[in-house]
Amino acid sequence: MPEKILILDFGSQYTQLIARRVRELNVYCEIYPFNNAPALTEDVKGVILSGSPCSVRDPEYPTLDLSQYLGKLPVLGVCYGAQLMAHEHGGEVTPSTIREYGRARLNEVHSQDRLFKELTIGSVVWMSHGDTIKEIPANFEVIASTESVRVAAYKLKGQETYGIQFHPEVTHSEEGKILLRNFVVHICDCQQDWTAEQFVEGTVAALQEQLGNDKVVLGLSGGVDSSVAAMLIHHAIGKNLYCIFVDNGLLRKDEFETVLDSYKHMGLNVKGVDAKDKFYSALAGLTDPELKRKAIGRVFIEVFDEEAHKIENVKWLAQGTIYPDVIESMSVNGPSATIKSHHNVGGLPDFMKLKVVEPLKTLFKDEVRLVGRTLKIEDTILGRHPFPGPGLAIRILGDITPQKVHVLQQVDHIFISNLKKSGLYDDVWQAGAILTPVQSVGVMGDERTYENVVALRAVTSIDGMTADWCRLPYEFLADVSNEIINKVKGVNRVVYDISSKPPATIEWE
Ligand code: XMP
Of 31-45, 87-101, 298-312, least confident by mean pLDDT is 87-101
Instruction: Write the residue with the smallest CA distance to atom 20 of ligand 1.
Output: 388
**Is 236 near ligand 1, meaning CB less than 6 Å away?**
no
74 preceded by a cis bond (ω within 30 of 0):
no
Give the angle 131-136-137 at the CA atoms, nearest 5°.
Answer: 135
Q: Is 398 in the pocket of ligand 1 (CB under 6 A)?
A: no
Residues 148 and 164: their CA atoms lie apart, in Å, by: 14
User: Are 386 and 464 in contact, with CB atoms under 8 Å apart?
Assistant: yes
State whether the beta carbon of 388 lies less than 6 angstroms from ligand 1.
Answer: yes
The answer to whether 113 and 134 are in contact (CB under 8 A) is no
Distance CA 384, CA 222 (A): 9
Contact 430 CB / ligand 1 (< 6 Å):
yes
> Which residue has the CA at smallest separation from atom 11 of ligand 1?
388
Summarised one tens digit per residue, pLDDT across range 34-87 is 999 999 999 999 999 999 999 999 999 999 999 999 999 999 999 999 999 999
pLDDT recorded at residue 219:
96
Binding residues: 221-227
Do strands 108-109 and 140-145 pair parallel, antiparallel, or not at all (unpaired)? antiparallel
CA gap 439, 493 in Å, rounded: 9
Residues in the chain: 509
CA–centroid distance, 423 to ligand 1, in Å, is 25
Alpha-carbon distance values, 29 to 311, 330, 373, 374 (Å):
37, 16, 22, 21
- Residue 279 CB burial class (10 angstroms; 0-12, 13-18, ≥19): buried
Residue 415: pLDDT over 80? yes
Q: What is the pLDDT of residue 463?
A: 80
> Which residue's C-alpha comes closest to atom 10 of ligand 1?
388
Give yes or no for residue 350 having a pLDDT over 80.
Answer: no
Domains and CATH numbers, the chain: 4-187 (3.40.50.880), 196-382 (3.40.50.620), 401-496 (3.30.300.10)
pLDDT over 90 (residue 449): yes
Phi, psi of 424, rounded to the nearest 5 degrees: -95, -15
* Alpha-carbon distances of 131 from 57, 95, 127, 161, 264, rounded to whole Å: 9, 4, 11, 20, 58
Please, what is the end-to-end C-alpha distance for the chain in angstroms? 43
Beta strands in 400-508 (DSSP E): 430-444, 447-461, 467-469, 491-496
